[in-house]
Amino acid sequence: MTATAEQPTTGQGAFRRPTATTGLSSWFTTIDHKKIGILYFVTAFLFFSLGGIEALLIRAQLASPDAAFLTRDQYNQLFTTHGITMIFFGVMPLSVAFFNYLLPLMIGARDVAFPRLNALSYWIFLFAGIFLFSSMFLGGLPDGGWFGYAPLSILGGDPLGETLGASSAPNVRMLFYSVGLQLAGISSLAGAINFIVTVLNLRAPGMTLMRMPVFVWMSLVTSVLMLFAMPIIGVALWQLMFDIGYGANFFNPAQGGDPVLWQHMFWLFGHPEVYILILPAFGIVSEILPVFSRKPLFGYTAIVFSGIAIGFMGWGVWAHHMFAVGLGPVANAAFALSTMFIAVPTGIKIFNWIATLWGGQLRFTTPMLFAIGLVAMFTIGGLSGVTHAVVPHNYQQTDTYYVVAHFHYVLFGGAIFGLMAGFYYWFPKVKGRFMNERLGKLHFWLMIIGFNLTFGPMHILGLQGMPRRVATYPDGMGWNFWNLVATVGGFIIALGFLVFVINVLKSRKNGVPAGNDPWDARTLEWTTTSPPPPHDFDVIPQVTARDELWNRKYAAGGPGRQPMRVPSGGSADAPAEPGAHDPGAGDAHDIHMPDPSYYPLVAAIGMPIMAYGVLFTPILIAVGGVITIAGLFGWALEPSAEEH
Amino acid sequence: MAEAAVQPAERGEDGHHTSLGLSNDKMGMWTLISSECLFFGALISTYLIYVDRTADGPAPGEIFDIPFTSVSTFILLMSSLGMVLALAAIQAGDMRGFRTWTLATAAMGATFLAGQIYEFTFFVEEGFGLTTSAFSSSFFVLTGFHGVHVAVGILMLLGIWAASLLGRLTPAHDETVENIGLYWHFVDIVWIVLFTVVYLIPAE
């Protein structure tokens, strides 16, 4: 079909190839990267909100000593699911939402390399989340920690013995963990392949690797990390599943298994995962800071290469999560060194961002505030991270709230602030309207105050010895005050997100209209309309500079440090297209976009059915397998609508 | 994923041009294979760590039937030859030859799988099952996942065979066959490693 007109379809196979690109049903069949990006964001934000509610319940329990707001069993379920939700169903898919929406636009492409695979990734992710949360009604949420250490992950739903006799039964709750994360991992893996091929192969003419926006670079590094980290956790999760569900002995010492193997595999995935969570946010602020400083990014090359360096070195630091396991002084010393080294490329980024701000004409819009928030908060988290690298210090901190404080400063203060910055920054592109600035700034200040109130005191609590993952704490330890402060802070954060949701609902219909380029930005996505047409660009852009749009709007190399506006003529509103004779040029009606398809949804539906089969009966595995295979065959043989 | 390859509309921006000159499908397949290396790497590592943790169950040298597995290994390796001939046939425009060799390749893969199922059944009857020891768990999961990969390969081969019958796969789509061939050869190479590591090395 053409990008704009509806055409009648005929089809062979079970389904007619759908053609609708608007309306409710189009969301089920869409393979447009922008719509999938929106689906990802909305879904991930819903899961993120669930994770936030879990966190509030945890904080409510910890507000006072010896509290009985939650039982210990409920507490275990909540802290475990909070971690899983935020990491696998919150931050990761929120980042993927940005990849989906922005990568093709930023590199001057019309879609991702494999649009239907992209839809498949989304549907698997959605079903994985539903599967995981359905455990709430099927015996309880996972309760063995997001790290799932054996033997807690294998034996007994209730090691504390609140339900006597339960501790020898296989831990069915952690089957939801192993199988649910397996599904999420398949989704991430498919996404990683898609984004790597998209970035490497679909760049517009002139978009060399070293002209790519830093966000694109960081997406590429993140995708490579996912590509290699997912199979490792995949294997570990399969092994865990066989241990729990089928009596295998991978992590059962009684039959020769080794729980430490799980820890190695988990953290060999888990540390790259940390960078999977943070690098997209680094990419986002690297786009935002130059625009609102009106200066090119300082040290582009250094930032790109430090991102690549993180991508390599991230594989050599995993055992710093295991210093207290007893790997011996040589291993601990080696991983302590590599951990200190990896702070270097991260520090390079921070200094380059500060240098980008230095001497710029700063505009403190909401996205800019969040971006600066990331730089400041992540730096605090990075510094406490270096203290973990010191092994004796680490022994002291292990399993205390100091660690909780650290990783929330990098993942919340880093990743979430970055993602929020990106949301405010690109919302005008997606919806064609600005977010409300006043509410946006309120959101920012509530969040940064609430965030520091919540997680700042945890440093103190941790150094005072308060253990994490324990449902309550006794009175008289000196922990009461800071715990109460942290709880108050947590609810302030929640208030901030409430303001955010109100702002989104208000602005999507009634926001101030934004033009194509409302921020005076520098990258390709701002050259097309807001929102972009289904085919993204009427004419595939020709790229001649790193800050392509600035280069088009302003003459390069004027005297002094300020870029100079081109006096008149071919400037901002209608940039002259150097590629007017480009073969991609022409009437938008001639642009052929891939057709929507039902098959990604069909293939994905089989997977949670198989997952339930692991829990209940092998028949479901067979049924789900048949559905998935049928979906993939239909996919492979699907005609495009225009072939008839 | 390679099944997506049947539709040329997804090949590139306008059907042929890509930034690196390599088609999207082929790059996607290589990317998948690179990820699979880590998948099998993790499984093989686990196996090597657990190879002597036999609890009270059989040890590697006591249970494996090397002559039998050598035969099924030979059949699987010959299937790679069939894959090469199927690709050569479609590149030469010989659709009949392509279909013959594709089915022959799938049949050889299926024979290998049948051998594996027989072997697993035999082992379980001998008292060597998934739950026997850490060694047995790692053996069954490692070779089992290889078997799953062979099965996926067979499905892809049947997919291109069906597509050619429906006229949806023509000599113009020879790259699809090549990409599925990449996967098939990769799975074979993994088996060469597994056969060496699992069967040959422990049999002193």
pLDDT digits (tens, 9 = 90+) for A448-475: 999 999 999 999 999 999 999 999 999 9
CA distances from residue A2 to A6, A26, A34, A349, B136 in whole angstroms, order as listed: 8, 16, 17, 43, 56
Burial class (CB within 10 angstroms; exposed 0-12, middle 13-18, buried 19+) of B117: exposed
Q: Which of B33, B38, B140 to mutate to test the interface with A (most CBs of A within 10 A)?
A: B38
> In this structure, how many other beta carbons lie within 10 angstroms of the beta carbon of residue A168?
7
pLDDT level of residue A252 (50, 70, 90 thresholds): confident
The answer to whether residue A296 sits within a structural domain is yes
String of DSSP letters for B67-111? HHHHHHHHHHHHHHHHHHHHHHHHHTT-HHHHHHHHHHHHHHHHH
Cα dihedral A43, A45, A47, A49, rounded to 10, equals -150
Residues of B in contact with A629 (CB under 8 A): 155
Q: Give residue B8's pLDDT.
A: 38
pLDDT tier, B60 (very low <50, low <70, confident <90, very high otherwise): confident
| Helices A599-615 and A214-246, axial angle in degrees (round to 10) | 30
Token code pair at residue B123? 């082992």
Q: How far apart are the first and last CA of chain B?
A: 41
In a 10 Å sphere around its CB, with 0-12 CB exposed, 13-18 middle and 19+ buried, how is residue B24 labelled?
buried
The total domain count for chain A is 1
CB B43 within 8 A of CB B145: yes
At residue A271, the 3 state secondary structure works out as helix
Distance from the B48 Cα atom to the nearest Cα atom in chain A, whole angstroms: 12
Q: Is residue B132 assigned to a domain?
A: yes
B143-178: per-residue pLDDT in tens?
A: 999 999 999 999 999 999 999 998 888 899 899 999
**A61-71 pLDDT tens trace:** 999 999 999 99
With a cut of 50, say whether residue A5 has pLDDT above it. Answer: no
For residue B33, the number of C-alpha atoms closer than 13 Å in the C-beta half-sphere is: 20
The residues pairing with A400 across neighbouring beta strands, listed in sequence order, are A467
Instruction: Return the CATH number at A218.
Output: 1.20.210.10
Q: Is residue A13 part of a domain?
A: no
The label of the residue with tokens 């010393």 reads: A333
The residues, any chain, with a CB within 8 Å of residue A137's CB and separated by 6 or more, are none
What is residue A586's predicted lDDT score, i.e. its pLDDT?
A: 43
For B83, the domain range is 20-200
Q: Is A203 touching B (CB cutoff 8 A)? A: yes
Per the CB < 8 A criterion, the answer to whether A142 and A623 are in contact is no
- Residue A334, H or E segment: helix A329-357
Question: Chain A residue with minimal CA distance to B57?
Answer: A255
Residue A267 contacts B where some CB pair is shorter than 8 Å: no
Other CB atoms within 10 Å distance of the CB of residue A302: 17
pLDDT in tens, A555-594: 555 444 444 444 333 333 334 444 333 344 444 556 777 7
Contact B151/A at CB under 8 A: no
Three-class secondary structure of residue A564 per DSSP: strand
- Please state, in angstroms and rounded to a whole number, the distance separating the CA atoms of residues A252 and B91: 52
A402: pLDDT strictly greater than 80: yes
Task: Please provide residue A476's backbone torsions phi and psi, each rounded to the nearest 5 degrees.
Answer: 85, 10
Mean pLDDT of A593-615: 90
CB contact under 8 A, A265 and B42: yes
Using CA coordinates, name the residue in chain B closest to A115: B10
The answer, yes or no, to whether the previous bond of A531 is cis (omega within 30 of 0) is yes
Partner-chain residue, chosen from B28, B145, B162, that has the shortest CB–CB distance to A193? B28
Q: Tell me whether B55 touches chain A (CB under 8 Å).
A: yes
pLDDT given at position A169: 60
In a domain, B114, yes or no: yes
- What angle separates helix A115-134 from helix A92-107, to the nearest 10 degrees? 170
Q: What is the pLDDT of residue A589?
A: 55
Task: Determine phi and psi for A393, rounding to 5 degrees.
Answer: -60, -40
Top residue of A2, A110, A193 to mutate, by most chain B CBs within 10 Å, is A193
Mean pLDDT of A42-47: 96
Residues linked to residue A565 through DSSP beta bridges, in sequence order = A554
Residue A628 lies in a domain: no
Q: Does B3 fall in a domain?
A: no
CB pairs under 8 A between A and B: 160
pLDDT for res A253: 86
Taking the Cβ of residue A116 and every Cβ of chain B, the question of whether any pair is shorter than 8 Å is answered with yes
Taking CB atoms and an 8 Å cutoff, what residues of chain A touch B19?
200-203, 207
pLDDT of residue A640: 62
* Domain enclosing residue A209, as ranges: 32-558+577-594
Q: Does A315 touch chain B (CB under 8 A)?
A: no
Inter-chain touch A197–B31, beta carbons under 8 Å: yes
Question: Chain A neighbours among B 118-137 (CB < 8 Å)?
Answer: 130-137
Query: Whose CA is closest to A599, among A96, A31, A92?
Result: A31
CA distance B109 to chain A (A): 18
Rg (CA), chain B: 19
Check CB contact under 8 Å for B155 and A629: yes
Q: Which residues contact A494 (CB under 8 A, 6 or more apart)?
A: A52, A56, A450
Of B9, B38, B53, Cβ closest to residue A231:
B38
Q: Is residue B68 in some structural domain?
A: yes
Mean pLDDT confidence for A479-494: 96
Confidence band, pLDDT 50/70/90 cuts, at residue B3: very low
Calculate the average pLDDT of chain A.
Answer: 87
* Contacts of residue A236, Cβ cutoff 8 Å, sequence gap at least 6: A262, A265, A266, A269, B42
List the CATH number of the domain containing B67: 1.20.120.80
User: Would you mind telling me the total number of residues written for chain B in this entry?
Assistant: 204
Chain B interface includes A542 (CB < 8 A)? no
Q: Is residue B14 assigned to a domain?
A: no
Instruction: Count CB neighbours of B15 within 10 A.
Output: 10
Residue B10 lies in a domain: no
Residue B40's closest CA among B180, B109, B138, B124?
A: B138
Determine the Cα–Cα distance for residues B165 and B102; give it in Å rounded to an integer.
12
Minimum mean pLDDT range among A22-36, A117-131, A252-266, A498-512: A22-36
In a domain, residue A418? The reply is yes
Mean pLDDT of A291-319: 94
Contact A579, A566 (CB under 8 A): no
Strand A564-565 and strand A554-555: pairing? antiparallel
Contact by Cβ (8 Å): A424, A435: yes
Residue A563 located in a structural domain = no
Pick from B27, B137, B166: CB nearest A250: B137
Higher pLDDT, A351 or A593: A351
Give the span between the Cα atoms of A483 and A506, in whole angstroms.
35
- Which tokens is B20 given? 């690196």
Burial of B40 (C-beta count, 10 Å sphere; 0-12/13-18/19+): buried
**CA triplet A245, A246, A248: central angle to 5 degrees?**
115
Cβ distance A227 to A188 under 8 Å?
no
Q: Residue A400, SS3?
A: strand
Query: Is the model more confident about A360 or about A17?
Result: A360
- Rounded to whole angstroms, how far apart are CA atoms A629 and B149? 14
Closest CA to A124 of A630, A606, A597: A606
The structure's pTM equals 0.90
pLDDT, residue A27, reads 87
Quickly state the pLDDT bin for B18 (edges 50, 70, 90): confident
Which sequence positions of A are flagged as catalytic?
Answer: 82, 111, 146, 187-188, 271, 273, 275, 286, 320-321, 346, 349, 468
- Cα distance from B174 to chain A (closest Cα, Å)? 15
pLDDT (mean) for A599-628: 92
Cα dihedral across residues B94, B95, B100, B104: positive or negative? positive
User: Tell me, what amino acid is at A233?
Assistant: I
Q: What is the pLDDT of residue A591?
A: 72
- CB distance from B32 to chain A under 8 Å? yes
Q: Among residues of chain A, what percentage have pLDDT more than 90?
A: 72
So what's the pLDDT on residue A153?
A: 85
Q: Which of A189-193, A309-313, A559-563 has the lowest average pLDDT? A: A559-563
Two tokens at A349?
């980024």
Residue A437 lies in a domain: yes
Q: Label residue A361 by pLDDT band (50, 70, 90).
A: very high
Q: With an 8 Å Cβ cutoff, is B144 touching chain A?
A: no
Q: Is residue B125 part of a domain?
A: yes
Overall number of domains in chain B: 1
> Using CB atoms, which residue from A114, A201, A632 is nearest to B19?
A201
Question: And the tokens for B137?
Answer: 């768990």
| CB contacts, 8 Å: B163 with chain A | 636-637
Mapped onto helix, strand or coil, the DSSP state of residue A2 is: strand
| Average pLDDT of span A132-150 | 90
B114 contacts chain A (CB < 8 A): no
Judged against a pLDDT cut of 90, whether residue A144 lies above it is answered with no
Q: Is residue B7 part of a domain?
A: no
Mutation target to probe the B interface, by most B beta carbons within 10 A, among A117, A252, A637, A644 is A637
A173: DSSP letter: H
Any A CB within 8 A of B22 CB: yes
B2 has a pLDDT exceeding 60:
no
Q: Report whether pLDDT(A227) > 70.
A: yes
Distance separating alpha carbons of residues A644 and B144, to the nearest angstrom? 43
In a domain, A572, yes or no: no
Q: What three-state secondary structure class fits A3?
A: coil
